[in-house]
Structures are given as C-alpha cells and as structure tokens.
Structure 1
C-alpha cells in the first residue's frame, strides 16, 4: 500500500517553511528505506527574481535541497525521528543533466543507502518528464532540533 503525503502532512515531518520548504507532495514512501516526492517549479518563487530574471533557471543548490528534503521525509517519518532535523554532512557525486525551469515538475526518488547510528547516506535522483535532471549522494546527520 502506497503512503502518500500532502503538504499538510509534510509540514508535520519537515521543519522547513517558506521559502525553504521545497517538497509539494510525497507520492510514495517506505520509511527509512526510500521516498518519491514532487517539487513543482513555479515562476513566482523568490529565487527567480535574481536567477535569472530573463531566463529563469532553478539554482542547483535549491534543486539539491529539494531532493534531499524528499530523503528527509523518509528518515523523519518514523515516530522516533519526529521532531529531529536532518543536517547535511557532505554532498557527493553531484551531476546536473538538464536545466530545471518554471513549469517543470521534478520527481525525486531518494533511496537510503546506508545508516550508521545517527549518520547516513541517501542517493537522490530527480527527473523532469522522466528525463534525468540531477543526481547526488547526500550524507547527513540526524540531530535533535534546538529549542
């Protein structure tokens, strides 16, 4: 049975808020294993005021963040991890395959590759229209949220 999450449910899991909440929907997930999520790219997003106004392109760092947040949902979904945050430790093997522009929908599959204690690695692959857009390995640390 597929686990799907709308934005209201995602906000119960991820601590991010506008303008840094970059996941619109989770299409399916197996907690602590993998998640598939969607980010709709719209021209009204704040980054397009400067990147680049006459030829808007989703900044690579925000694309990586959006993909990592899908992995974050997989890691933070279990009740024992609710209220924690997933913090980058390293980003490796980044490859950009195409520009991502307003009107695109990025579908990311984030797969947990390794977990050791509170550290882990998630491999992320983002696609637009079933074509590769970006991929990377995100090394992270699960930490308690500072109050």
Structure 2
C-alpha cells in the first residue's frame, strides 16, 4: 500500500509545519513501512540562519530526523486503526529510543527514505527498529523505539486547579 499526504494525515495527527513525511512508498501492516521526506531549505528551522551559509549550517537537525522516522513508525502503528484526534482517541507516546546513530548529515535537496520494522507488539505498545538512508547511503540507524498508545481520557488531569497529585 502507498499513501500520499491526505492519506497520511487521515492516520496520524501531524499537520503542516510538523508533518515530516511526504509519502509512504510501502506499508505492510504489522510488518514494515517505507516512507520518504524531502528536505527543503524552505522549512522553518532554516529561517533564522544568516549568510554566509556553510554546509554545516545546513545540516538537518538530528532531532527532526528522528521525529520524521518516528512519524513513519506511527503510520505503521496506526495502519489498522487511524489516530487523528488525540483529544478524544488514542495518544501516541514515545516511550524510549535507544541505539540511535547518525552516520552522515542530511542537507536541503536530499530525499530521506525511512525504513521501519515492527519488532514486537504488546497490546497498544510497539517496538520498532530500522534506518534512514539518503541515496542508498545510511544517514541514521535506530536499534529500538518504543511507542505506546493510550486513551486520551486516561491522560487528562480532571482534578480542580491546584488540587492535582503531588
């Protein structure tokens, strides 16, 4: 199965400005996903840069590279059950990320390909692993990411202001 942006936003709550995947190339529920993201100099994180620019200035922020990969994992996690309204539905939460290695910088004009495999599912908690490549060259590897889905209603503090748990 492939997906374009309208189909992606029908599955996960991320929207313009924070949606960091552009297309799903392949999705096999409960197995794996391949998704791409085109890095562009027009993205907001590049707007504060001053000239003259160096190649190091243009390196895509590593935290956003991992977030983009995590969004591909979220598409895989929600393949059977879309999750677009986190206020009433399920909230996707990052439990942990281990073995994250950045192998090369990514710069505007490059196309990221995220490959994410589901390693294990325990109820609404999933463990993923995979990598990101640029032109066939490894940019990042991920040994383990744990994502958990929890009902929004269980995460909302219903105590009157000032009377929450301490």
Calculate the TM-score normalised by the size of structure 1: 0.90
More strand by share: 1
Candidates 60, 63, 69, aligned match of 2:62 = 60
In the TM superposition, residue 117 of structure 1 has moved relative to its aligned partner by 1.3
Contact map agreement 1:108 1:127 (CA 8 A) in 2: yes
- Greater helix content: 1
Matches within 5 A, 1:9-88: 9-50=7-48, 54=53, 55-78=57-80, 81-83=81-83, 84-88=90-94
Three-state SS of the structure 2 residue aligned to 1:14 is coil
Structure 2 residue aligned with 1:108: 114
Q: Does structure 2 conserve the Cα–Cα contact (< 8 Å) formed by 1:67 and 1:108?
A: yes
Moved more, 24-33 or 52-61: 52-61
Total equivalences in the alignment: 143
Superposition TM-score, scaled by structure 2 size? 0.80
Q: Which blocks of at least 5 consecutive residues in structure 1 are unaligned?
A: none
Aligned residue number for residue 124 of structure 1: 130
Please give the alpha-carbon distance, in whole angstroms, between the structure 2 residues aligned to 1:117 and 1:58: 34
1:80-132 deviations in whole A, cap 9, x for unaligned?
A: x2223421001100000000000010001000011111112111300000000
CA gap 1:52/1:91 in 2 versus in 1, 3 angstroms: farther
**d(CA) in 1 for partners of 2:13, 2:98:** 24
Instruction: Report how far residue 15 of structure 1 moved.
Output: 0.4
**SS of residue in 2 equivalent to 1:19:** coil
Would the alpha carbon gap of residues 12 and 145 (structure 1) be closer, same or farther in structure 2, given more than 3 Å must change?
A: farther
Distance of aligned partners of 1:49 and 1:142 in 2 relative to their CA distance in 1, 3 Å threshold = same
| 1:142 Cα deviation from its structure 2 partner | 1.3
1:125–1:47 CA distance, 2 compared to 1 (3 A): same
Q: Distance in 1 between matches of 2:150 and 2:129?
A: 20
State which drifts further: 52-61 or 67-76: 52-61
